[in-house]
Amino acid sequence: MSGTEAEAPDRPGVAGALVAGAWLGPVLAMLAGLALLALLGVEGEFISLLFVVALSLLAGAPAAMLAARRGVLGRPLGLATGGAGLAAFALFHLLDGLPVAEALAGALASAALALLWVGLGVAAGFGLPPLAGLAAGALLGAALAWLVGGLAGAFWGLALGAALAGFLAAAPAAAAPPRLRPGEARVLAGQGAAGLALALAVLAGPLMAYGTDGKLMAVALALPVALPGLLLLAATRGLAPLPLATALLGLQALAVALGLVIGGAPAAAGWVSVEGLPAFRLALLGAGFLPAFAALAAALLERRSPRSAVLAALVLAVLSAGLGPLLGLLQPELADFGALAAPVLATGFAFWLLLRGEA
Amino acid sequence: MASPARALPGDRRGLTRRLRPRGGAERRSPVVFVPAGVAGEALILAGLAMGQALVVLALGLGWWLVALVLHLGCCLALLLRPAPPPDAEPWATAVLRLLTATLPALGPLAIPGALAALALGVPRRLRRVAPPLPEDPVDARLDAIALARDVPDGLLLESLGDVLRWGHARQKARALDLAAEPARPGGVALLRLALSDADPAVRARTELLRPQVERRLLEAAEALRAVARGQSGANGRAAQRALARALDRAAFSGLLEPPRADACRAEAAGLWQALAEAAPDGGPEGGDAEAEAALGRNLLALGDLPAARRALEAAVTRGAAGGSAIGWLAECLFRARDFAALEALVLRWRPLLEAEARRAAVTGPHAAAWRLWLAEAPR
């Protein structure tokens, strides 16, 4: 392979694990953070947690993609952790007016989660299971959270757990500092762009729902329905993309049906308002398509050039952010359909890109 | 798989393999909780841990400015630490490298990760493990190479290169270990290729092995330097030549850190210059073509293009330097953008280059350039 070509993943399923991880990681981090908050009896801090995870993903995903392909690069990692930490500190302390103690803990949690994404990228690229580090991080993080207490305690616990797990997962790649070859910067920039586009695709829907009509919980709570399909995609090795996407659609149909059956539970628990239930059901249907989209995006990412994968992810991001408000301008009751139409259209677009490349 | 009872009596090789203990814990190297040779790095980590403990204390007391100053001090100390010596333990160096990237943002939270990584050591999959099932033909090849002490360099490179291409993770690790053995100087070329292998695990393993090979190459040069110091006359020149060759071998191995490689090249250039000047200049048949060619190669690598061109032109004019010197001169002219001289060079040496292109040189470092130049130059 020449020095100017991208390095395609040499282990089957690496791209699938990376794309599925872009959804799995944040969703699991949110669940862990919510569990810590519940453990400490803190309520109403869902948005703070969402911003911690979102900032870490935006900063960490490009570095994680680079780390999975080329090992840990010091400067991108430093930029990712530093950028996530500074942005979270500025958001919490300067904009939201939180005290320094809590803002600092939130900033550290965001930086540590960025390191965790890089570590998980390394684990996917090197084929090294990160479970031991994750288990140790979860235990120590929960212990620290319990010791400190409050919102700051939850953030400190999340930060310690993520930092420990991320460091242990990323350390093997640090033993092989990549030597950049001439002309490789452009290729690496493409990989970083793929990571950023994936992060935008994951975050565009929830953040836009938060910024516009306040139906954030309906969109965010629908995402866990995609977990079975995403877990299957992350664990699958060597299945062709189209049969895999078909199998995932079948699996997701079952998960979505189950979700619709228990669809009233979030309203009963008070997480979603009764008016938001139709939007929640539509988001549930839309989230069912995410694993199929991820499988197709992974097949695009396995190509020599990541351009198609970047394009597919950006289309999902733009549709998730813009389709709902656009439909709302036409007719207000159509706005909720954006959460359903965006993943469906993006999956179709990724399917078209895949067929176009194979023709 | 046939049982030992059914093995043919004459098949001693297979029987020996079957009787070899394998499986379970005895196939793996023991888990090392405190790797040897980490004293320096452990000291740095201990200092950082103490500094960050003070940062935590300041944070707990609400002394934000004190915590910030202490933290910045720790970061500066880590950034400005001296470069690790060649014999530093690679895993500890890697952990400190990762800590350098994460400490500024994570502060005290990065320390437990670093301590845990140092205590746990290299992940099991990157460690050396015993060879797997002997029925695998790749393992049979590795066994044969391990038993044969004097495999020719070309065959060693080709065989181990095949293992890196077709073998699984443990076979690749074993191939790299074989290439790094002191008795196999030809393995350096494989390690150089493995540094840019597509498999990150191969790159990681090579990076772990690289310091010991680097140290060996530098020690060989140091031993020859000591020999050359006490010699004079013809013996001195022979010792100087041996030292210069060893320095060239180290500098162009591709395994040295760039500053060390440049230092070797500069020293080798001085030695080759002295040897070239000491040789009697008897026109095209006299002089020291090897010294001039090697001097030109070193100067080319150091970026002194005019001096490199003078030396390589002298070597090529004597005609005893071979295709390599022509290749270096062509590279020098290309980098100097003197394309007219480059075309004249190709035209002048066309028969030799075509003969080399027909032989093994088609796979050499300049093969692609030769093919291009021969195709482009007018007949």
Question: What is residue B28's three-state secondary structure?
Answer: strand
Of B253 and B5, the one with more pLDDT: B253
Residue whose token pair is 């760039």: B258
Q: How far is A357 from chain B (nearest CA, A)?
A: 24
Contact A125 B200 (CB under 8 A): yes
pLDDT-derived band at B350 (thresholds 50, 70, 90) equals confident
Contact A172 B195 (CB under 8 A): no
* Of the partner residues A81, A82, A175, the one whose CB lies closest to the CB of residue B204: A175
Chain B residues whose C-beta sits inside 8 Å of any chain A C-beta: 59, 62, 64, 90-91, 94-95, 97-98, 100-102, 104-107, 109-110, 112-114, 116-117, 120, 122-123, 125-126, 169, 195-196, 198-201, 203-208
Residue B129, strand partner residues: B28
Mean per-residue pLDDT of chain B: 77
pLDDT in tens, B3-30: 443 444 444 444 444 444 444 444 444 4
Q: How far is B10 from chain A (nearest CA, A)?
A: 41
* pLDDT at residue number B9: 44
Residue A333 has pLDDT above 80, yes or no: no
Distance CA A241, CA A298 (A): 8
Of A1 and B103, the one with more pLDDT: B103
Instruction: List alpha helices for B80-135, DSSP H.
Output: 90-106, 110-120
Instruction: Measure the CA angle with vertex B96, ends A105 and B254; round to 5°.
Output: 140
Please report residues of B whose CB lies closer than 8 A to that of A108.
106-107, 109
Instruction: List alpha helices for chain B, DSSP H.
Output: 12-19, 39-61, 64-79, 90-106, 110-120, 137-147, 153-166, 169-179, 187-194, 200-229, 233-251, 258-278, 289-302, 305-318, 322-335, 339-348, 350-358, 367-376
* Mean per-residue pLDDT, B88-117: 87
**Range among A195-199, A331-335, B76-80, B344-348 rated most confident:** A195-199
Q: How far is A77 from chain B (nearest CA, A)?
A: 6
Which of A108, A126, A181, A187 is the best substitution to test chain B (most B C-beta atoms within 10 A)? A126
Residue whose token pair is 């065959």: B155
* Domain assignments of chain A as residue spans, ordered by start: 1-182, 187-203+225-359
By C-alpha distance, the chain B residue nearest A77 is B101
**Range among A299-313, B26-40, B340-354 rated most confident:** A299-313
Q: What is the DSSP string of B156-199?
A: HHHHHHHHHHHS-HHHHHHHHHHHTSTT-TTHHHHHHHHTT-S-
* pLDDT at residue number A194: 92
pLDDT-derived band at B155 (thresholds 50, 70, 90) equals confident
Of B205 and B5, the one with more pLDDT: B205
Rg of chain B taking only CA atoms, in angstroms? 27
Distance CA A162, CA A209 (A): 27
* Domain assignments of chain B as residue spans, ordered by start: 39-121, 137-213, 230-376
* Mean per-residue pLDDT, A77-99: 90
* Of the partner residues A10, A160, A174, the one whose CB lies closest to the CB of residue B98: A174
* Mean per-residue pLDDT, B59-76: 89
* pLDDT at residue number A358: 61
Q: What percent of chain A has pLDDT over 90?
A: 26
Residue A187 has pLDDT above 60, yes or no: yes
Question: What is residue A40's three-state secondary structure?
Answer: helix
Nearest residue to B35 via CA among B115, B91, B85, B86:
B91
* Mean per-residue pLDDT, A236-245: 72
Contact B112 A125 (CB under 8 A): no
Range with the lowest mean pLDDT among A132-141, B232-241, B304-313? B232-241
Contact A159 B62 (CB under 8 A): no
Which of B48, B55, B98 is the best substitution to test chain A (most A C-beta atoms within 10 A)? B98
Q: How far is B239 from chain A (nearest CA, A)?
A: 35
Mean per-residue pLDDT of chain A: 83
* Mean per-residue pLDDT, A67-85: 86
By C-alpha distance, the chain B residue nearest A180 is B196
Distance CA A206, CA A201 (A): 10
Contact B105 A82 (CB under 8 A): yes
**B165 is written with which tokens?**
């291409």
* Mean per-residue pLDDT, A321-330: 84
By C-alpha distance, the chain B residue nearest A128 is B125
Contact A167 B110 (CB under 8 A): yes
* pLDDT at residue number B25: 44
Please report residues of B whose CB lies closer than 8 A to that of A175.
90-91, 94, 122, 126, 204, 207-208
Residue A268 has pLDDT above 70, yes or no: no
pLDDT in tens, B124-137: 666 544 444 445 67
ipTM above 0.95, yes or no: no
* pLDDT at residue number A57: 94
CATH of segment(s) B230-376? 1.25.40.10
A248 and A292 Cβ atoms separated by less than 8 Å: yes
* Of the partner residues A74, A175, A179, the one whose CB lies closest to the CB of residue B100: A74
pLDDT-derived band at A119 (thresholds 50, 70, 90) equals very high
